A = this chain, B = another copy of it.
């Protein structure tokens, strides 16, 4: 940055302006099932075979595959039969639908919902509010009413969040020793992937997923096996309904959806419900104290502007919210991954 060469030819600006092309190439290869087909096939395939297998045009597929090679999401080898494509290790693990660490669902949520919301980023910055009205013609006033505007959208969102916890869940739950807490409520626990990580990591715990009735319904039907006896459910709206007593409350990616007032309201309710000696675990992506980074978190804070009423915050901002509600002995742990952990005790 800043060298004469860079000033003569702005590589960085070109990279940034190509960003959406890169996102969409990866999202599209996922959506069309390229990585799944290559995994199932068990051997490298030609572009024509992949196009035929996925019902796509040969001219479009060839270019998509080559772009994926350029992005190192696929590898290619030249043979007598022509170019043969195969998954890279990263793609096998993260971009196939069947992998335990699959990011497929969060990609689809980004590609089909978030991408369109971001078309209206300039309006979001001008107005200081989310853009569901412009993007999807639904009221911007109740963000979760908008996000869950159809069962299909709600399902996509829940599956997307589960993808995230499949790679980040264990680290945020292992950031502190939570084994003293047996009775855990995961407020807004959605599809239950974090709850599942929790009972796996802390075999003596039971986790109750507290979420809206329609979310709980889908979580039971589609995501959490009835065999999973350590996980139970509680239907409710944690702003308007009561919160039962427990030893630990997990709020993962909840406070970032709301403004400071709403966060204070919610944390006060949680504090009142919490057993003495209990605690609350916030799982969020933390901004640096001077808000100079990390850039991913800054970008997600823009996303909170476009999609919610909230923002990403610094560790000090979360600590202040916790203290205002009565929590003490606040500890912060950065995991080095996207989501961090803040623990407050009653």
In the complex, A71 Cα to B299 Cα: how many Å? 10
Q: Please determine whether A67 and B302 come into contact, CB atoms closer than 8 angstroms.
A: yes
Q: Is A43 an interface residue (CB 8 A)?
A: no
B13 and A125: CB pair below 8 A?
A: no
Task: Judge if A226 is at the interface, Cβ distance under 8 Å.
Answer: no
- By beta carbon, the residue of chain B nearest A112 is B119
How many subunits of this chain does the assembly comprise? 2
Contact between chains at A57 and B21 (CB < 8 Å)? no
Given contact pairs A103-B13, A167-B9, A64 touches B125 in the complex (Cβ within 8 A): yes
With the chains together, A296 CA to B89 CA distance in Å?
23
A242 within 8 A of B: no
Q: Is the CB of A126 within 8 A of B18?
A: no
Contact A16 B26 (CB under 8 A): yes
Question: Which chain B residues lie closer than 8 Å to A23 at the CB level?
Answer: 16-20
State which residues 44-83 of A face B: CB under 8 Å: 55-61, 63-64, 66-67, 69-73, 76, 78, 83
User: What count of chain A residues pass the 8 Å CB interface test?
Assistant: 82
Contact present for B16 and A70 (CB under 8 Å): no
A70 touches B126 (CB 8 A): no
Smallest beta-carbon distance A49→chain B, Å: 15
Question: For the complex, would chain A's binding face be called helix, strand, loop or mixed by DSSP majority?
Answer: helix
Whether, in the assembled complex, A12 has its beta carbon less than 8 Å from a beta carbon of chain B, the answer is: yes
Partner-contacting stretch, out of A182-190, A243-251, A285-293: A285-293
Given contacts A128-B58, A302-B67, contact A296 B14 (CB under 8 A): yes
A93 to B2, CA, bound (A): 11
Given contacts A13-B95, A67-B301, 4 further A-B contacts (CB under 8 A): A20-B115, A28-B122, A32-B125, A70-B292
Could you tell me which A residues sit within 8 Å of B by CB distance? 1-2, 6-7, 9-10, 12-14, 16-28, 31-32, 55-61, 63-64, 66-67, 69-73, 76, 78, 83, 88-90, 93-95, 103, 106-107, 110, 115-116, 118-119, 121-122, 124-129, 167, 290-296, 298-299, 301-303, 305, 311, 337-338
A-B contacts, 15 listed (Cβ < 8 Å): A1-B90, A2-B88, A10-B94, A17-B103, A17-B107, A18-B19, A19-B22, A20-B118, A21-B302, A24-B119, A31-B122, A55-B126, A63-B301, A63-B305, A66-B298
